[in-house]
Each structure stands twice: as C-alpha cells, then as structure tokens.
Amino acid sequence: DAGITQSPRYKITETGRQVTLMCHQTWSHSYMFWYRQDLGHGLRLIYYSAAADITDKGEVPDGYVVSRSKTENFPLTLESATRSQTSVYFCASSRGAAVSSNTEAFFGQGTRLTVV
Amino acid sequence: TQLLEQSPQFLSIQEGENLTVYCNSSSVFSSLQWYRQEPGEGPVLLVTVVTGGEVKKLKRLTFQFGDARKDSSLHITAAQPGDTGLYLCAFNDYKLSFGAGTTVTVRA
C-alpha cells in the first residue's frame, strides 16, 4: 500500500538489548525524520535525512543510530536500550524542506516501545 | 528549551465554545505549520502560513501568522468533540521542529 509505514507497532525489550524500528515510505520523498513523543515534550527530533546516505542529528540523538541506504527506508536503531528510551516513536517524510517546496510532512502511525 | 513555545498546555471546553491556542517564538520564520494529532495516530497537517499577517481559514478553524513572522495562533469557533486532539505548531528549516503542543478536549 502507498504511504508511510512503521514496524513494529508495539515492542517490549529489555535494558541493554539492541532494537531496530523500521520506517518505509512509497512516495520517494527526499526528507525523512525520526521523533520520539513523551508527555509534556511534544515531538522531539532524533535524526533526520535529506536524501539517501545523508543523515544528521536532531535535538535528542544520543543512544540512537540511523542509516539510509535507500530513499524509501530509514531505520532507527537503539544500540543498547535504556528505560529512558521508553517512548512512542514516529517516523515522517516530506518532499521538501523549504518554503518554496512542498513541506507537508506525512507521519507513520508510530511505534510504542517499552524498555523493561 | 524549545524554539516554539505553545500555550496553553491544556485546554478543556464545552461543545459550542470558542478557543484560541498560541505558538510563540523569539525567532523569525519563513513559514509555520499547524498539525493536529489524534490519540494513537501520527500528526496531520492542517495548514502552512507563509506571509506575515496572513489569515487562513479551514472551516471553523482560523489560523493567523503574526506580522513579524514570530508567532501564530489557531482559533476554533463553536468547537465540536471532533476537534479534540493535540495541536502542534512546527517550522521546517530542513529539520522539522515542533512545539510541545496544546491538548484540546471538547466536552459534549
């Protein structure tokens, strides 16, 4: 199906384990983003990517790793999960990132991650 | 510290009442966006405002961009329970950044 999909929708993992959250979009959008959402903080940017093989840190990148070998995929890896990384994670994509471009961001349905 | 400050943090009103939420910053923006997020879903774009002083209407929702392009407001007329959600303002300067949001609850 067309759109942006995240998997898994729910994940429980243990402290210290590595976990990867997947994000796939079918529009060939250049920009992709990863956020975490916690009560009282809104959406905080973890990493973003302007194109394949181009990634950059956002507001809260520590403890996370991303890659973008293909335009349509943008996986997020927690190298050694901690309880503070318990959160809802959202992936988003947009065609452009400037006022002259179409900057509407489209979001996945989120992944609820619990680290125990 | 977030670049975009939203207020109030929470707002609970009765169906039929009006409400206004605010998005403020000390920075000047080329454009601002408003998104609405419903429980269990990702945010969805409502509007993008580009010109200082601009007013955009989307049915019962009115969006305004400040003259100095540092702030924006969202006004809902005759709120309905379907307007319940988290309202987020954002700007996109190659990294899409959000305010903390205003949680709006409209009681039937």
For residue A18, is pLDDT > 90? yes
B94 vs B96, more confident? B96
Q: If contacts are CB pairs under 8 Å, which of residues 28-67 in chain B contact chain A?
A: 30-31, 33, 35, 40-45, 48, 50
What pLDDT is attached to residue B59? 95
pLDDT in tens, A43-81: 999 999 999 999 999 999 999 999 999 999 999 999 999
User: By the 8 A CB rule, do B20 and B73 touch?
Assistant: yes
Interface membership of B88 toward A (CB under 8 Å): yes
A83 phi and psi angles, rounded to 5 deg: -60, -30
Taking the alpha carbons at both ends of chain B, their separation in whole angstroms is 35
Residues of B in contact with A42 (CB under 8 A): 2, 6, 88, 98-101
Which of B2, B9, B48 comes nearest A103 by C-beta?
Answer: B48
pLDDT tens readout for residues A26-51 = 999 999 999 999 987 789 999 999 99
Residue B62: pLDDT band with limits 50, 70, 90: very high
Q: Which residue has the higher pLDDT, A103 or B11?
A: B11
**Closest residue to A92, CB basis, from B30, B96, B101:** B96
Q: Which residues are CB-neighbours of B59 under 8 A, at least 6 positions away? A: none
DSSP-based three-state secondary structure for A84: helix
Measure the CA–CA gap between A85 and A64, rounded to whole angstroms: 10
Minimum Cα–Cα distance from B90: chain A residue: A43
Contact present, A80 and A63 (Cβ < 8 Å): yes
Do the beta carbons of residue A32 and residue A93 sit within 8 Å? yes
Which residue of chain A comes nearest to B100, CA vs CA?
Answer: A42
| pLDDT at residue number A2 | 67
